[in-house]
A and B are shown apart, each in its own frame.
Chain A
């Protein structure tokens, strides 16, 4: 389904979606992040990329698995806590972030379906915004099989054509959103489609950064496990954890118990994000740590994304959003590291 929406009518569409929980990028101080919208008039899609990807809405940084309590008479009682039923919409999802969710979907399905992830995933509609201008100077989606107008993982894709949005719908969820405000949408004309094509050709040219020879990288990485290359590259790493927490594809988690009171026993089991760049990520209870230094952790990050994930899921675990490059405190640049890998002669 291809439609066109006047930009001036966009706030009205959002207003008609009052039965959904609506998320959109909101600016606070200098940073943009996805927040719940209380005032539909204020939704503004004119933003550079957000600090945290919309992954945090579907896979929150902290969620409760179950509650436990105990008393002398009843013994230990466990209560499962599932995500609440609340149909939601996220506006302004960049294609790289949506592709990242499509990749994470693969991890949380298969032999074991993660019900917490899927309960949230199934009730969220993703409305994408194509990138006519790269939102970050470090974007490189084209190098990792993505594009500024990729539709993977999205229910709707909006493309900015100056005074109007070109709206493409791919799923039933998307159709429901359109139907909530049917009168605001007009069918797309041939002229609109031509404008879209031109817009997209220009958009592709504007992406300035790229990984050279990415196809060479997975096989080269296979032979680099014991190489001193990683020592060199990780010398300036601070093991701060920013790259992993900001990455839209990273999904490692930790499970902890939060005890609220010990007698009577009451508490919760929670899942939080975990970070492979933290020194204790692989600390065993025996005291042995197979990744004790920064070199092994940087190696893990690169190999997971560009070799292990490729072996397992036939995709790079990176969608080229560039957040890790922009926010690394010491300027470690994944594109530079990968370029060095592809020309590595060990």
Chain B
């Protein structure tokens, strides 16, 4: 099990040595069970760090923010940023390194292993508690979590409250790190794409009905895009009024700008946005599940990305986020790539 005191010790050491600018980790929230992202700037502040099964966030996204902030500063601090990563988050880091968006020495990685379990799905967890308020949740031995409510402590089986993606976890321990806490435990994983099975077994019309209903709900708040570490483009193709305009952009360039989809949150435009996003993430999405977690309308958009992840594996034997040296999925090819669908 990961010892929180060890985590704090490592963080404190690296801050005291002045090795990093600040550390991004999980901090206790003043309101509720779920933590908040914490930005630890001094060795004394490491006391705020926590590590619980509620540490769901993928903190890799803040590296994108850090890069933007640095680009605005005249004399930026060139020291790396410390980052607490889980196994899935480390795969996001590997993709960012593979795409050369960040350099390896821009980040100091403090890895924590999820070992046998993982992190919770907040909605599943609240349902399981049936209205009781949880004050604390901790990792327990084997596959349980220890939950503290006002009525005392109760053991909860992890499998009942784990996030969907944890049930299909491919990397329960960080694959890349400067410091690692917790043990590398081999986890049995029988069915890597089990969450997709139900959807794939539906008929074409049933699948259409499902996606039509779900994507009609979308209000285009773009939270899914904002939370995804891989959506780091300054100018998103899908957001037609968000373009990188400078004083030098000519009127002609602005007039020629193609509007791929309208701003209206109607079904047809929502489809274009979500499908384009899924395709742009093909071979890059590592299934951190954040997009689905943040959606205010609870749209299961993770399935779109999961489907392409499965196809990438089946058709091209490609898996994102394991090797920072591999080529990207869509700008590489193999002679054996299937072409049975081509006339």
Contact = CB atoms under 8 A, between A and B. Distances in A.
A and B touch in the complex (CB under 8 A): yes
B296 A254 contact: no
Contacts of B262: 256, 258
A260 B57 CA distance: 41
Range, interface on chain A: 35 or more
Contacts of B258: none
Contacts of A30: 123, 298
Given A236-B36, A241-B223, A333 B298 contact: no
Contacts of A82: none
A270 B221 contact: no
Given A325-B31, A331-B35, A333-B30, A280 B241 contact: yes
A31 B297 contact: yes
Contacts of A336: 30-31
27 contacts: A29-B298, A30-B123, A30-B298, A31-B297, A52-B219, A62-B265, A137-B32, A240-B223, A242-B296, A258-B262, A279-B242, A280-B239, A280-B243, A283-B245, A287-B249, A292-B72, A329-B290, A329-B293, A330-B36, A330-B37, A330-B57, A331-B29, A331-B34, A333-B29, A333-B30, A333-B31, A336-B31
B296 A256 contact: no
Interface string B14-29: 0000000000000001
Interface in B231-282: 239, 241-243, 245-249, 254, 262-266
B274 to A, nearest CB: 16
B245 A242 contact: no
Contacts of B247: 286-288
B62 interface: yes
Contacts of B221: 240-242, 245, 275
Contacts of A329: 57, 223, 227, 290, 293-294
Interface string A282-325: 01011110001110000000000000000000000000000001
A51 interface: yes
B246 A287 contact: yes
Contact of A242 (B31, B254, B294): B294
B39 interface: yes
B56 to A, nearest CB: 10
A61 B219 contact: yes
A199 interface: no
B61 interface: yes
Interface in A254-273: 254, 256, 258, 270, 272
A285 B239 CA distance: 16
A325 B123 CA distance: 16
B36 A331 contact: yes
B328 to A, nearest CB: 25
Which residue, of B37, B61, B72, B221, has the highest number of chain A Cβ atoms within 10 A?
Answer: B221
B103 interface: no
Contacts of B290: 329
A158 interface: no
| Main DSSP-derived SS at the A contact region | loop
B101 interface: no
Contact of B296 (A62, A246, A272): A246
B222 interface: yes
Contacts of B243: 280
B226 interface: yes
A258 B242 contact: no
B34 A240 contact: no
B38 to A, nearest CB: 8
Interface string B311-322: 000000000000
A336 B27 CA distance: 15
Contact of A280 (B62, B65, B242): B242
Nearest to A56: B219
A287 B57 contact: no
B246 A240 contact: no
Contacts of A31: 297-298
B263 A256 contact: yes
B294 A272 contact: no
* A-B pairs with lowest CB-CB distance, top 8: A240-B223, A240-B226, A331-B36, A329-B294, A236-B37, A287-B246, A287-B245, A241-B221
B62 A236 contact: yes
Contact of A278 (B222, B248, B297): B222
A138 interface: yes
Contacts of B29: 331, 333
Contacts of A238: 61, 223, 226-227
Candidate in B246, B247, B263 with the most chain A CB atoms within 10 angstroms: B263
Nearest to A279: B242
B62 A272 contact: no
Contacts of B219: 52, 61, 245
Interface string A54-97: 00000001100000000000000000000000000000000000
Interface in B185-238: 217, 219, 221-223, 226-227
A239 interface: yes
